[in-house]
Structure 1
């Protein structure tokens, strides 16, 4: 006989869902998923309206409410309404997140924001532009990534993975060096400029300079109408939600995740195009790194 699980302690809704999710039935999880995906929002629907929206019975919603430690649906709605009042958002954090959230609630909301950004970027991917970008990368003699601030870190990671796969790849993060490098690129090279807002003038200038030398230029930005986008031959757009983005921790973390996602798409696609050459390069660099650091660990360095 199955034991009845103990009543959950009063606490954040997402924490309760996390604790009880495994005990819920399939139809009840539909309700729990809806609550989790809409955490931080006021629940104005009646139990009948919510049931109709989700395609479940009122009894199912009531069972979920009680399973989460509430007396019923009205009690859960009241609790949610009280949780949305008098919030004092911290600068540079999305409004969905505040200091009243539990740790599991914060992690769940952050995961939702990042997943939404990547999913939105996937929906916006243009097959023809993606083909153009991958073709250019595979044919290139040299690949150069340029960005500033948070985008520079994405450029460093991009150069790192392409370099390990046998591509001649580098990244530059200051405008002075970016200008020098862009002026030396030719039709055999590719310059990838990354800017979330598309307003970074040094990136736009570098793309224009390289493009004038017939170098293939690729822009990764959330604004297809920006100066950075206009300066490139190929534009790969990241999702921005169509509204003012709140920078997370002083930067656009959702944008960075989407940029990294596009870099991975380009990288994996290029690997498949190159085939054995990339496979051998990855094996060679992997063995060299293993030898280097395993020897160091054994005191042979």
Structure 2
């Protein structure tokens, strides 16, 4: 394949080129391609000798990859990456690594990598003692109330959905008015979980404060452990936060939602594994009830 095979500035989008040619690359060449994919949009200032040493491949391998991707050689590849490094998404809350000029397949690669990084970053920040304390709070709660607004409200709904099927009395509220009412009526054997990526959602912070004052257990899931939401809760699980500036009310922070869901799924797994027989029985009853419900609907529709 020659350099005229691709269209666009500087011969076309780098990640698109890698996606097109990846299956035909050798194992050592894929090492180079993987690095380029993960650092697309950045400048590569290494000489070909230094770059080869960093990746543990030969200079010839780097040259072959450059040509396979449609460039005249490694210098042309470097120039293309330098030219694209200045283009950044101007829309708030969109990861800085994603360029507006990217092809959709390029965006898919970058987004997958960013979401994976956010989960791994969240996992690295986990404290085993805090995690177990959160699980104990869920295990011992007579009732679990989840509160959040915007995108966090969707995570709250998913959490309630998961735990209801396992036999937990769980409910989610997405407006400050109802959240305060729910908090005012919680008792010491109840649990409130507040979710807010920025931790600045005042309604969630106030509801957590009230629930805690009433003796209920409280958990905050947020990226800012020093925020109002975190300070209001008895336990805090911290999600990973990138350097992308987060602008409230301007769309959801993409990596934040996947990190929140990761923590919820983790707590859910810990919960159902703790007493597999009891929780499995609830899951079985739920499945049977749904099976009968939909079977009856099918008969009526028929």
> Taking structure 2 as the reference length, what is the TM-score of the superposition?
0.92
**Is contact 1:238–1:255 with CA below 8 Å preserved after alignment?**
yes
| 1:240 and 2:241 correspond | yes
Q: Deviations 1:121-146 (Å, cap 9, x if unpaired)?
A: 01001100000000110111111101
Range with bigger deviation, 51-60 or 262-271: 51-60
Cα separation, 2, equivalents of 1:207 and 1:278 = 28
Cα separation, 2, equivalents of 1:219 and 1:85 = 37
Cα separation, 2, equivalents of 1:180 and 1:164 = 25
Q: In the alignment, which residue of structure 2 is the partner of 1:162? A: 163
SS in 1 for 2:269: helix
Gaps of 5+ in 1: 1-5
CA gap of 1:240–1:92, structure 2 versus 1, over 3 A, is closer
Q: In the alignment, which residue of structure 1 is the partner of 2:191? A: 190
Cα separation, 2, equivalents of 1:133 and 1:248 = 29
SS in 2 for 1:41: coil
Q: In the alignment, which residue of structure 2 is the partner of 1:29? A: 30
Q: In the alignment, which residue of structure 1 is the partner of 2:55? A: 54
Q: In the alignment, which residue of structure 2 is the partner of 1:293? A: 294
> Taking structure 1 as the reference length, what is the TM-score of the superposition?
0.92
Question: Alpha-carbon deviation of 1:50?
Answer: 1.2
Q: In the alignment, which residue of structure 2 is the partner of 1:3? A: none
**Is contact 2:122–2:259 with CA below 8 Å preserved after alignment?**
yes
**Is contact 1:136–1:190 with CA below 8 Å preserved after alignment?**
yes
Q: In the alignment, which residue of structure 1 is the partner of 2:71? A: 70
Gaps of 5+ in 2: 7-11
Q: Deviations 1:57-103 (Å, cap 9, x if unpaired)?
A: 21111111112121211111122222234656344422322332111
CA gap of 1:213–1:290, structure 2 versus 1, over 3 A, is same
Q: In the alignment, which residue of structure 2 is the partner of 1:82? A: 83
Cα separation, 1, equivalents of 2:219 and 2:49 = 51
| 1:227 and 2:228 correspond | yes
Range with bigger deviation, 249-258 or 291-300: 291-300
Q: In the alignment, which residue of structure 1 is the partner of 2:200? A: 199
Q: In the alignment, which residue of structure 2 is the partner of 1:42? A: 43
Aligned residue-pair number: 296
**Is contact 1:93–1:249 with CA below 8 Å preserved after alignment?**
no
CA gap of 1:91–1:73, structure 2 versus 1, over 3 A, is same
CA gap of 1:127–1:86, structure 2 versus 1, over 3 A, is closer
